[in-house]
Every structure is written in C-alpha cells, then in structure tokens.
Structure 1
Amino acid sequence: MHIAEGFLPPVQAVAWTVASAPFVIHGARCIIRQVREHPETKLLLGAAGAFTFVLSAIKLPSVTGSSSHPTGTGLGAVLFRPPVMAFLGVVVLLFQALLLAHGGITTLGANTFSMAVVGPWVGYGGYRLVSRFTTNTSPAIFAAMFLADLSTYCVTSMQLALAFPDPVSGVGGALAKFLGVFALTQVPLAVAEGLLGVLVFRVLRTVASPELVRLGVLPMPVDNSSGGRTGAPPSSQRGF
C-alpha cells in the first residue's frame, strides 16, 4: 500500500487526495470527540496508532522485486471505529513517508485511501458480520485484520491499474496483473496478521478490559445484585 513518491500521474494523485480528505477530516473530529468524552482511552488510542505504524512499517520481499507489508488497521477499526483510523492512518503514512521513505507525499492521498479508508471499513464490516454468528470475539477479530489487510492491497492494485493500464488489455488486464502480484501474495501475510490480531486482543482483554467495555467492544458486565447490566452503552449505541 506504499505507492512510491511520484509514481502516480499528478491528476490521479490529486484525485485520490480529494477523495481521502473528507474521511480524514471526519476522523480528526471523531478523535477529538473521543478524547473529550473518554479521556481514559487516550493510551489505548495511542497504542492503536503505534500498532498500525509498527506493523505497516514491516517490509517483506514479494515477487517481481516489490515488497509487502501488514497494515494493522483492522484492530484500531474494531476498537475505535473506521473514521478514527482514517486520521490515525494518514498520520502513520505521513511519518513513514518522511522518516522511512515508505510511500511519498504526492501519493499520500492514494495510500491513505487504500490503507486508512477502505481497509478499516472493510475490516470493520467483516468484524460486524462475523459477530452476528458467534459470541467468541476471536473469529471476528481475525476477520477484521485479514480483510483490512487484503482489501488494502486490492485497492492499491486498482490504483496502479488505473495509472498504468496494459497496452493491450487496458485497465482490466493491468488489474489482473497487479492483483496477481500484490493481492495473491498478500493472503499468507493477511492470515498471519489475523492471528496476531487475535493474540493482541486477548492481551488487551486482560490489561484494558474496562476501556474495552466503555468503547462497546466487550459486553457490559452483569450486576448480579440487581440482575441488570452496568457500565458503558453497547457498541450499537455509539455513533461514527
């Protein structure tokens, strides 16, 4: 998902930036509201951003001389919802472009759209879908991490296909080639990221259970003395 500096035509680079901007602005507002209403979750919010930065900075060799990366956005999307990850993601990508030469400034909008917008929303959708069929959080967390990772590279493949259509088969042929290079080789990495996400979430349940309850990620504990539930409202009552 780190399209290199200057790799996209200027018009397309601007178009992806414009497409990403509303999500990033909305995400910034969501973070401000989150910190104002629940200041006790600031540490967990920072951990979600750090987790995304570290995972997406890991550079693994892929075919044809390219490289693949985990993304780490699925876990943050589950904890704080996808809009928050749009802002955290652009911050992560900006620092990586400036400090690690991963991605670039002109391609920041395109990279943000794939990793920080589409990835979190697809991952969160997978999480909500799996959660409908099981009360065990592990399959849902796995789905969130796996789908956020894989969908990011599918969108990156589309972006590159639009920028570099095949001379014979056009955008469709180029898309098939880029998907073969990036999406297929990303499947094992997405599986590994899903398993890592399950392990990390189990640790969070141990060390930050009250915060997860306030965020609506874990169910409210049952007050046996009154027969009701206490704590934060369920996730279905939390807005974006």
Structure 2
Amino acid sequence: MHIMEGFLPTPWWQAWFAVSIPVILYGIHKMNRLVNEKREILPLLAVAGAFIFVLSSLKLPSVTGSCSHPTGTGIAAIIFGPAISAVLGTIVLLYQALFLAHGGFTTLGANVFSMGIVGPVAVYLVYKAGMKTKLNFYAVVFLATAFGDWATYVTTSVELALAYPAGGALTFAGFMSSFGKFAAVFAITQLPLAIMEGAVSALLFKYVVNVKSDILVEMKVLEDAVVRKLRGTSA
C-alpha cells in the first residue's frame, strides 16, 4: 500500500472501483447530513483528514522494492464511522496520486477499498466490541487502530494475490501462495508500524478528552460518565 499506478491488470482495478464507489457515495451522503446538522464539526473533520494525509504519506522502505506506512484512518473511523472515513481516505488518496505520485488513479479503487473501507470498518468493529467489554478507553483505541492498520495491509495482500496468483492462473493454491508472499513482505515493517499508529492514536485521543471532550460525547464516541472518569472528575 499504496498500490502504484498501472500495477493492477484488468479486470481487477475496475472491480475494486465497482466495490468502493457505492460506499464512497453513501459516505458523502452521511457527511453532508452531518455537516448540515452540526456545522461545528467541520474543523474536526478537517483535522481527521489531515491526520490521515500526514500518516499515510510517511512511506518507509520495506523489502523487495515495496514500502509500508501508517494509515491514519482509525481516528476518523472511531469518531465519524467507516463511511465518512472512506470519503476522507478517498480525498487523501486522490491528492497523493495527483501530487505525490503515491498510489495511482487506476488503482484508486483498490487503495480506497483497503485503506478507506476495510481498515476503518475493522477499527470501528474492534472499538465497539472493546467498549462493550468495559476495557480502558485508551487501550481500546490502541487495539482498534493497530488492528485496522493490519487489516488494511492484509486486504492489500489479498488484492495483489488475486491479480498475481502464483503460476499465473487464479486457483486457491496459487492465490494462497502469492498471498503468503505479499503478506510476509508487508509484515516486516507493518507489524511495528501498526503498534506505533495505535500508540499515537491513543495519545491523540487523550488530548481530545482533556480539551474537547464534549465533541466525543456529542458524536456518541464516549458516554459522559466515561469522560468524567477519564478526566478524573465527578461533575
């Protein structure tokens, strides 16, 4: 991730567009409704988008000519949900493809699906499950964002393995062989990067809880009682 321009053959790059576009359109609908109802949320949307841009632009060398990077989508997924995160991710990926030669236009659908859809969905599900178990909020944020990062790269490995199965023919054995190789390439750098992203995300949420906790309550990220407990206050 990001899959570079022209790397995915037909019909795979078209297929990922077909899967991603409905989610993006739904996310645009949700974002417009949210902004119309809560104009004060615009600065936080901008910050979430900027966070995705900065973290996902930090390309680090992996092996065999590939690279790894954090995704940054976890914060947006927890606050706004996966659909709006997909829109923010699409904007970031489009900008990176246009101005930074990071990713590509034909591979935009695949990159959006892995980083903008699957990753945020994984973050959202882990976060909701973790909060139901009454785990520490910051620990849940750490686990959710780290797992979302890993989910993104597993999905990218799936996309590459489907396009380039071992032996040239798409069979289960060929797919699994290629998937194992792609996943192994990413794992060397992505495992520690995901841990780092989880820690940074937890620290960022600690700051938000201390200075702007009301927005988390309003967006139903946290209950007011949980915020008071985190801040060590009783009122």
Give 1:198's aligned amino acid. Answer: A
Name which of 168, 185, 188 aligns with 1:181.
185
Could you tell me how far 1:184 is from its partner in structure 2? 4.7
Give 1:178's aligned amino acid. Answer: F
Q: Which sections of structure 1, spanning at least 5 residues, go unmatched?
A: 223-240
For residues 28-67 of structure 1, the C-alpha deviation after alignment (integer angstroms, 9 at most, x for no partner) is 0111011011111111111111100100000111122211
Give 1:186's aligned amino acid. Answer: Q
- 2:74 aligns with 74
Could you tell me how far 1:167 is from its partner in structure 2? 1.4
- 2:205 aligns with 201
**SS at the partner of 2:116?**
helix
- 2:223 aligns with 219
Runs of 4+ in 1 over 3 A off after TM superposition: none
**SS at the partner of 2:146?**
helix
Contact residue 17 and residue 110 of structure 2 kept, 8 A: yes
Distance 2:187 2:116 in 1: 17
- 1:236 aligns with none
Give 1:144's aligned amino acid. Answer: A
For residues 53-106 of structure 1, the C-alpha deviation after alignment (integer angstroms, 9 at most, x for no partner) is 100000111122211010011111001111100111111100010111110000
1:52-67 correspondence runs (5 A): 52-67=52-67
**SS at the partner of 1:45?**
helix
Contact residue 114 and residue 152 of structure 1 kept, 8 A: yes
**SS at the partner of 1:6?**
coil
- 1:5 aligns with 5
Could you tell me how far 1:221 is from its partner in structure 2? 5.5
- 1:122 aligns with 122
Could you tell me how far 1:171 is from its partner in structure 2? 1.1
**SS at the partner of 1:10?**
coil
Say what the alpha-carbon RMSD is for the aligned residues.
1.4
Could you tell me how far 1:155 is from its partner in structure 2? 0.3
Distance 1:107 1:183 in 2: 22
- 1:235 aligns with none
Distance 1:3 1:214 in 2: 37
**SS at the partner of 1:65?**
coil
**SS at the partner of 2:11?**
helix
TM-score, normalising length: structure 2: 0.91
Could you tell me how far 1:209 is from its partner in structure 2? 1.3
- 1:226 aligns with none
Give 2:141's aligned amino acid. Answer: I
Give 1:128's aligned amino acid. Answer: K
For residues 134-173 of structure 1, the C-alpha deviation after alignment (integer angstroms, 9 at most, x for no partner) is 2521011112210111000000001000111111851110
Could you tell me how far 1:183 is from its partner in structure 2? 3.4
- 1:230 aligns with none
Contact residue 154 and residue 183 of structure 2 kept, 8 A: yes
TM-score, normalising length: structure 1: 0.89
Q: Which sections of structure 2, spanning at least 5 residues, go unmatched?
A: 227-235
For residues 163-202 of structure 1, the C-alpha deviation after alignment (integer angstroms, 9 at most, x for no partner) is 1111185111001111111135311110010000000001
Distance 2:36 2:147 in 1: 30
Aligned length: 222
Could you tell me how far 1:116 is from its partner in structure 2? 0.4
Contact residue 74 and residue 123 of structure 2 kept, 8 A: yes
- 1:102 aligns with 102
Distance 1:68 1:50 in 2: 19
**SS at the partner of 2:70?**
coil
